[in-house]
A and B are shown apart, each in its own frame.
Chain A
Amino acid sequence: MNKYISDFKIHRFKYFVILPVIIYLILFHYKPMYGLVIAFKNYKPTRGIAKSEWVGLLYFRQFFKDPYFLRILKNTFTISLLQIVFSFPVPVFFAILLNEIKVNWFKRTIQTISYMPHFISTVVLCGMVTAFCQRGGAVNDVISFLGGERKNLLMESSLFYPIYIISDIWQGMGWSSIIYLAALAGIDQEQYEAARIDGASRIQQMCYITLPGLLPTVSMMLILRLGSILNVSQDKILLLYQPLTYEVADVIGTYVYRRGLEEAQYSYSAAVGMFNSIVNIVFLVAANKFSKKVGQSGLF
């Protein structure tokens, strides 16, 4: 105990600085957990949480028995995995490539341009995607120029994933690369010098210095990403899907949105949200274990 008190005395300024964050976490991430209890109650806003009646696992059972349960679960995993396979590595490579550019003004310009889509709101972004994909849209202009047939691309269920992932990469690539650029900046320059003296080519430097130097950051980001495997950006899907693409695009989030918010079934949504979180935690812990096992450092 004394150890803690003396530690506190020595570092009291640091503790003071971190205080707002702790308050934030308690207020916005721990206190609301009490609300989870409505997943087991038939919650009526007018009665409040405490006075609503208990219904046990009713809403969980309803969700698991839903005719669309398997479909939305499958779609959610599919989209999430596609993101991990395709969207996740792009910023890493982008950061490495940027790092190789030695002309400073050019590097800055590329960076700025690549960040820009991140600042466009999802609604506007999806409006642009919709406009591009329409029969008379820009993408169709290209297709028709190359001799293809014009059609509304968002109506093809087979094209939904490519459209989703490509727009995802376009929007997130620059922004997500920032953390990797920071990691690259932390690699000791002497290592490169030594390698050059030993006659290593740039490709060799990349493979044996840059990549290993990045790996801890990459594995940390991957673990975090797996911790939100069931959190697919539902607002983007809501804005891009329609009945013809439900079969590939309807995910847990959108289904719950239609049922939970539009029909005001709060308890049902809370039950599904809880299911979501539990799956996410399982993946987070498993990924962390795996990472430690293969010799990389874990998060905790």
Chain B
Amino acid sequence: MFKKVIATLCAMTLVMSLVACGDGAKETTPSTQATNKGTEAPDVQGTEEPSTSEEPVGPGSITYPLDTDVSISYWNGARYSNQYQSWKESPAHQDFLKAVGVDIDFRYVMAGSNQTQDFNLLLQDEKLPTCLYYLTTPVQAEQFIADGVIYDITDYLPKYAPDFWEFVNRPEQADVLTRCTTPDGRFFCMPEMYETHWGSNYIGPIIRQDWLDECGLEVPVTLEDWEKVLVTFKDKYNAGFGAPEYRMASLFVASGADALGFLNASLVLNDDGKVVIPQIEPEWKELMEVASRWWDMGLIDEDFLTMDGATYRNKALNGEIGIAWTAMSEFTNIKKDAANEGVESKWVAISYPRTEAGNPTSIIQTTAQRVTNTIMFSATSSEEELAVALQVWNYAFTEEGHIRMAYGIEGETHTKDANGEIQWADFIRNGELGIHAESQKYSMRANNGIPGILPDHLIRLKNDPEVAKGPDLWTENTKAYDHVLPLIMRNAEEEAIHSQYWNAISTYVKEETTKFFCGKRSLDEYDDFVKTLYEMGLQQLLDANQSAVDRYAK
């Protein structure tokens, strides 16, 4: 009997410890923001005009906190990435609930899950949460409305979200309006967005300034300079150019050759406005010639394909990388690691390379989208819940709400300096967790995943000043915006063609481009590569997307 009791206790302890481990893992995963778009964001002052309207319906007509017993739920496809075990302990969330006067059940997803997968699985439920935070295209949304998944909120907005309604109908917000409406003009969401395009250019190169100084080198400007610096770094420090595959492979990797992409297949517009994949353009081949030469010379970190966020940070910390490719949040983490470990290193942001001094920088990596996410309202919610949810998020578009969600309460968490600019209170600025994490504690907006505008000024405030310089340098060549495909609205027929070919083609592209890069396939075979792509149905794929883009242009 005694043995049985002991065995049962042991089993329970084991189970409990597993449960405890599970919780802990949520909080300890490194690189918390790196995988979520829109963590780095844009500026607030003066985006909202004070409302003077006295009408019952119109901007400013809703009084906060709301007087209601209705509670709502909010499904957030992002992970709760803060210092607290749960959002319930976060002062920013608590202050927000107090400000709007509604009980909101935030449902964040588990660490390591995939937003798309989670959302697809969520849709199988009979009763969906009130608010659905999920990046949806207008065409998808049209289908969601037709299938009875989400509300068409057009008729509800003027009454329940008057401040948002006024904001989104301003002429200068036309891009937001298009993004939030179906092709036939019905509103399907409220946006999470950057204040300006500046915030969407949050990825770019950084360098070890202290090494440059030690070697007596200038900040590299042209591709030639880059190569010289990389060779010196390799000889002296055995360190190269490094970044994980997910940074290197995506859109608009600076090239100096103005290629429109690197390892991944993606749909982009070329100079003639035609839909292409970057790999069939001549600039891409030029870029690959440079890149594969650098690989042969050993200037690029060989582990990039198997590198995850944690390894990347370790390599930066241990001086195995001299030039890196980062998002602002990663940049912050790299600096924080060095400070925590007492490592002497000075990382600074630098401009994208140029073909020749005096030329503009090469095409930059950007999302070129101000709207970073769409928040929809599930049709399984009652109209009452919808009304409350709209009013809650309308708060983000009122002047008071915008400021309070971004910076907390004046006099407590922030003050205005002599120039009238908002500054964090000292306890946030000097908090032990560092400015980024401390800001997240008190700024609802600094935790991504809710409707509203992310001010440029907040991005500067929540980041180390050196990190905030990044987008200034990386925004230099905005030609990239012209190459980003507008929102694709494929009809059913085009969609069928697209989905038939896309998977095989993108697999082939990724496989072969990586081989070209890593010297496993000679660039002499480039023409064969392109030929195979067409044999696999590339033309049909591009034509289907071209016709969708042409229809959009009309």
Contacts and interface: CB of A to CB of B under 8 A. Distances in A.
B23 interface: no
A259 B123 contact: no
A187 to B, nearest CB: 28
Contacts of B508: 67
A24 B263 CA distance: 47
Contacts of A246: 507, 510-511
Nearest 7 A/B pairs, CB to CB: A46-B147, A243-B514, A242-B305, A45-B123, A243-B511, A264-B120, A243-B510
A108 interface: no
Interface in A121-146: 123, 127, 130-131, 133-136
Nearest to A127: B308
B500 interface: yes
A154 B307 CA distance: 11
B499 interface: yes
Given A46-B123, A134-B311, 8 more contacts: A152-B306, A242-B514, A243-B511, A244-B515, A255-B503, A262-B116, A263-B499, A265-B499
A130 B306 contact: yes
Main secondary structure of the interface of B (DSSP, over half): helix
Interface in B107-123: 112, 114, 116-117, 120, 123
B117 A262 contact: yes
A135 B305 contact: no
B164 to A, nearest CB: 26
B302 interface: yes
A90 B536 CA distance: 43
Given A242-B514, A243-B510, A46 B144 contact: yes
B124 A45 contact: yes
A265 to B, nearest CB: 7
B346 interface: no
Nearest to A133: B306
B518 interface: yes
A130 B123 CA distance: 35
Contacts of A133: 306
A68 interface: yes
B305 A264 contact: no
A47 interface: yes
B53 to A, nearest CB: 39
17 contacts: A45-B124, A46-B123, A46-B149, A67-B504, A68-B507, A134-B306, A136-B320, A151-B302, A242-B245, A243-B515, A244-B305, A244-B511, A244-B515, A246-B507, A258-B503, A262-B116, A263-B503
Contact of A247 (B114, B263, B504, B511): B511
Interface in B142-182: 144, 147-149
B504 A68 contact: yes
Nearest to A154: B306
Contacts of B503: 255, 258-259, 263
A247 B124 CA distance: 35
Nearest to A130: B306
A154 B306 CA distance: 8
A242 B302 CA distance: 13
B147 A47 contact: yes
B303 interface: yes
B551 interface: no
Contacts of B513: 243
Contacts of A263: 499, 503
Interface of A: 44-47, 62, 66-68, 123, 127, 130-131, 133-136, 151-152, 154-155, 242-244, 246-247, 250, 255, 258-259, 261-265
A155 B511 contact: no
Contacts of B518: 155, 244
Nearest to A45: B123
A156 B144 CA distance: 44
B277 to A, nearest CB: 15
B520 interface: yes
Given A134-B311, A154-B306, A242-B245, A45 B507 contact: no
Contacts of B116: 261-262, 264
Contacts of B124: 45
A46 B116 CA distance: 16
Contacts of B148: 46
Interface in B62-106: none
B273 to A, nearest CB: 27
Nearest to A67: B504
Contact of A134 (B263, B303, B500, B514): B303
Contacts of A242: 245, 305-306, 514
Contact of A261 (B117, B302, B320): B117
A295 B381 CA distance: 64
A243 B514 CA distance: 6
Interface in B313-346: 320
A40 B189 CA distance: 33
Contacts of B500: 62
Nearest to B119: A264
A213 to B, nearest CB: 31
B504 A154 contact: no
A155 B305 contact: yes
Contact of B507 (A62, A151, A258): A258
A242 B307 CA distance: 11
A44 B120 contact: no
A55 B117 CA distance: 24
A259 B302 CA distance: 29
A66 B508 CA distance: 12
Nearest to B149: A46
Nearest to B264: A243
Nearest to A268: B499
